[in-house]
Structure 1
Amino acid sequence: MHQTDGNASQQRYTLLMVSIALAMFMTSLDGTIVNIALPTISTIFDLPSTTVSWVATTYLLVLTGSILVFGKVADRIGFKTVFLAGFGVFTAGSFFCGFFPEAFDSFGVLIGARVLQAIGGAMIAAIAPALVAAFLPMKMKGKAMGVVTTFAAFGTAAGPILGGILTQYLSWNWIFFINVPVGIAAILLGSYAIPAGRTATGTPSPFDRLGAVLIFVGLGSLIYAVSEGSALGWTDPTILAALAAAGAALGYLVLHEQKTADPLLDFRLFGNRNFLYVNLMLALSYFLFGGVNYLLPFFLELVKGFDPSTSGLVLTALSFAMMASGFLSGMLINSIGNRRLCIAGALAVSAGYLMFHFFSAESTIYYISGALAAVGFGLGLMLSPGTNMVMNMAPRDRQGMISSLISVERTGPITLGISFISMLFVQAMLTVASHRHVTASSPAEIRIEVLSTGFDFVFVAVFAVSLAVVVLAILSRDEVHADNLEEETFGAAAVGA
């Protein structure tokens, strides 16, 4: 009988992990899968590229601006409710994105459906890490967190590749339709595997509406500015206004949240230096990952002369290495510890970025793939235990909040990294080009050595920041909040699910 109960619990553990992994993969995938289809969408709706870019920008803006809000909502009404509702909204939004825009011949319908999809994605992303922390026993959390964070990072990396395949061989609509069967499967799995859990006891404090507005305006304005800054120009009045709005909203948010009885984001947690170090380590890692993942296809195609399909194949070295080490780190967390894995991963990432500095037109495909594999292996080794450390330091009544914070530290820095790295590359290339008197040439005529020098400058900067990640990993410590010392009994937690 006990063995039967144990097998049933193990089955639920597995299904819960699968449900969470699907959630993180799909929400991350949809942040990048649409980019490669934008030229096709532009042609279909006869719109300029600047207008069509809102298909990608809208998703990132709404997703990042809403995650922290839904994390707090989940702490009050229950993780299962928000997670399943989020998948329902996300799945419906995905279907609407693929079907209704052409049916109504309206680009505005696509943007509206994209907003709906992002709201569902925010609900999912806000809760996924918290589900691991709340409903899995301590001995399984490391492995589960490895699965969750690995699939999240892999979704980001796989987006452009999968988007290209679907757009080329089916149609652009399928970059959204692909979510529908996955969403339905995740809802069915989650309904069975996720316990009902606990909700807030007693009379909760009034919901922090002002904090929610400040978070959405601040993060949304920041994401808009960094996403559109390169296209519109950083001195464009719209971009300057967005940056000013972001600075004012986020600055006032910090002051407001410290005076609120039940804040959406408890900044006092950052008073723990270890909590601060680990969160910075994760944010900087995603920052570099986003920027490099965006820039590498340009290097492979412009400097190496690879065609898009070959470039995509080379980039899979990073993705597959990340997945392999992500699973490995999950299995090793309990025996080696979070901190040691973070240090090992940070060193591997830094070594890989150092190898980037020696990229040139003569670099072999094996050397490039090896460097990408080193970065991917290090990221997979580090992100899972880093996420686990943050969740372990959070009290139980803050699990939803911290879970959403981790998701913001993934989506926000990736977007910032893309903008910053691309801006750094362009400025470095133009500076070198100006010095060598080639700025009068068309972009196609810029000498390859000038282009390579621009990449070299970026790769040096990336390596320098990666050293800061190593230092933060070394400074970090494994801490477990008293609330998390006792393992949850799955069967008891699942009663009434």
Structure 2
Amino acid sequence: MTTIDPTVGHPRRRAILGVLCLSLLIVVIDNTILNTALPTLARALQASTTDLQWITDAYTLTFAALLIAAGALGDRYGRRRALQFGLAVFALGSAAAALSGGASSLIAARAVMGVGAAFVMPATLSLLSAVFPVRERAAAIGAWSAVAGIGIVVGPTLGGLLLAHFYWGSVFWVNVPLVAVALVLVVTVIPDLPGRGREGTRLDVLGAALSAASLVAVVDAVIEGPDRGWTSMTTLAEAVLGLALFAAFITHELRSVSPLIDVRVFGHRAFSAATAAIGITFFALFGSLFALTQYLQLVHGYSALSAGVRALPFAGAVLVTAPLSSLLVRAVGVRVIVPAGLAAMGGGLLLLTGATPTSAYSYLAVGVAIMGAGMGLVMAPAGESLLSVLPAEQAGVGSAVNDTVQELGGSLGVAIIGSVVSGSFRHGLDSSGLPAPLVQAARPSIAHADAVSAQVGPAGLRLLEAAHDSFTTAMTSGFTLAGVVALAGAVVIAVALPGRTRRASGSTAPEQELVGTGT
């Protein structure tokens, strides 16, 4: 076992950071690599919009449900072991997904991939915190956040590139050799740090089960609500069950001798505001990308590769602003930078609400780039604020909270914004005046509408035009919701984040932003 002086850090910390970023990139890319494949999957697997939402959310929901437990296990038994286990499970799930013969089997394989990713992501951030000294940690987290942001948007481009040359399963097969390389590097580069679980205490299995079950119940109710009916007994019962399980989780954690996480930290303004900022960012991002990639391919007619490339302005903007975010925080404070980032995301989304079926790409690129700049400003400062509250022995759980909020925000974004887009699209078709049989055949998704329009002769042109108009209107409705949530979040978080304050008397350190301690 390797021990590290926290004032100096590990001598190979930059090489370790590179391996951690590669591992992170593999699982983060899979959050969005499927976006450009959604139209292809809809055609190849006869998947409806609800199927597409589940294919996307099975990964992020499992990811979110298990992150806290996986972070605690990494803290207890060793973070390198957690990283190795997670990468291996992720590769197995990827192979199963590539071999899937239908939507149901693909959804199950995506859930297995989510289990692996749940062990990988918190391990990368907690290992980073362990090998870097405090004075370098903000810059390292900035690089980690930049990779996460870039990976999210490189995913559609990579997916498009693979689909241009191979079948849809290639977006999963690509993970297998990448994981093999990462596993070799983990063994050879990353030190075997001891777990930091408390001696003589048991792992909080009941807390882990309650947290996972509550997340699954709530998100499932949101995803299935549009089909079941928001006021149906099943939807209401599941939502109430999820909230009851969450209340039970909080109660259990407050009473437990060895809780999964000390939920009292959410009483700290910096911690709560940071988690909210991260959740809102991913809610807006994942929900908007779910609609935007379908718009680019099925309305504008871009190929999967061309649609992926047209998401690159987002990645470029993240690449510029994420490394600068720590410097900007030092200059004007986290209370300015994080809300400014959320406001930029909201502004970019509201700009995109002016899109039409014939909008020029340059117009879309500006809105996407503004969103990317906003995300780059949010992620590193918010993540650093969140981690600074927790003691070192809970670094894995703290990073798991950070990642859980990301994935849960993304799951809710796809579920809620996807449902808004789906409902609005169907309403638009119902109001189009087209024959009822045509409308009924086209209602499941815009991909179905495209397929039907190619088979019905002269009426197909009218159906295609109505479908494109309806989907664009539906997409802008989703963008409006996401933009309003981001702007409202910016206002609330600007109030909630603590201001600049001076260190306790007797300290010789210069005045700085104390986002974690409020000392």
2:445 corresponding residue in structure 1: none
- Residue 146 of structure 2 is aligned to residue 150 of structure 1: yes
TM-aligned CA distance change 1:191 to 1:341, over 3 Å = farther
Distance 1:368 1:108 in 2: 34
Q: Deviations over 1:311-334 (max 9, x none)?
A: 333222212222332233356555
Distance 1:294 1:174 in 2: 20
Query: Cα offset for 1:21?
Result: 1.5
- Residue 472 of structure 2 is aligned to residue 464 of structure 1: no
Query: Cα offset for 1:463?
Result: 2.7
Distance 1:324 1:92 in 2: 35
2:78 corresponding residue in structure 1: 78
Matches for 1:119-130 after TM superposition, within 5 Å: 119-130=115-126
1:446 alignment partner, SS class: helix
Q: Deviations over 1:25-66 (max 9, x none)?
A: 21122233346556767887x776577876544433332221
Q: Which amino acid aligns with 1:462?
A: A
Q: Which amino acid aligns with 2:130?
A: A
TM-aligned CA distance change 1:15 to 1:295, over 3 Å = same
Contact 1:133–1:391, Cα closer than 8 Å, also in 2: no
Q: Deviations over 1:340-380 (max 9, x none)?
A: 43244233323323322333356432222111111111111
2:447 corresponding residue in structure 1: none
TM-aligned CA distance change 1:447 to 1:95, over 3 Å = closer
Structure 2 spans left out of the alignment, 5+ residues: 1-7, 443-462, 508-519
Contact 2:197–2:393, Cα closer than 8 Å, also in 1: no
- Residue 414 of structure 2 is aligned to residue 418 of structure 1: yes
Distance 1:286 1:106 in 2: 28
2:87 corresponding residue in structure 1: 87
TM-aligned CA distance change 1:94 to 1:330, over 3 Å = farther
Which of 203, 209, 232 pairs up with 1:207?
203
2:311 alignment partner, SS class: helix
1:342 alignment partner, SS class: helix
Contact 1:15–1:189, Cα closer than 8 Å, also in 2: no
TM-aligned CA distance change 1:239 to 1:359, over 3 Å = same
Query: Cα offset for 1:106?
Result: 9.4
1:495 corresponding residue in structure 2: none
1:314 corresponding residue in structure 2: 310
Between the two proteins, the alignment pairs up a number of residues equal to 474
2:174 corresponding residue in structure 1: 178
Q: Deviations over 1:464-490 (max 9, x none)?
A: 2222232244231379999xx9xxxxx
1:280 corresponding residue in structure 2: 276
Structure 1 spans left out of the alignment, 5+ residues: 1-7, 486-497
Contact 2:78–2:194, Cα closer than 8 Å, also in 1: yes
Q: Deviations over 1:280-317 (max 9, x none)?
A: 11111111111111122344456656555443332222
TM-aligned CA distance change 1:302 to 1:18, over 3 Å = same
Query: Cα offset for 1:448?
Result: 6.4
TM-aligned CA distance change 1:383 to 1:42, over 3 Å = closer
Q: Deviations over 1:395-417 (max 9, x none)?
A: 21221111101111111111111
RMSD: 3.8
TM-aligned CA distance change 1:173 to 1:195, over 3 Å = same
1:16 corresponding residue in structure 2: 16
1:489 corresponding residue in structure 2: none
TM-score by length of 1: 0.81
2:130 corresponding residue in structure 1: 134
Query: Cα offset for 1:437?
Result: 7.2
Give me the identity figure in percent: 26
Distance 2:141 2:189 in 1: 17
Query: Cα offset for 1:15?
Result: 1.7
Q: Which amino acid aligns with 2:152?
A: T
Q: Which amino acid aligns with 2:217?
A: S
Contact 1:389–1:479, Cα closer than 8 Å, also in 2: no
1:196 alignment partner, SS class: coil
Contact 1:135–1:195, Cα closer than 8 Å, also in 2: no
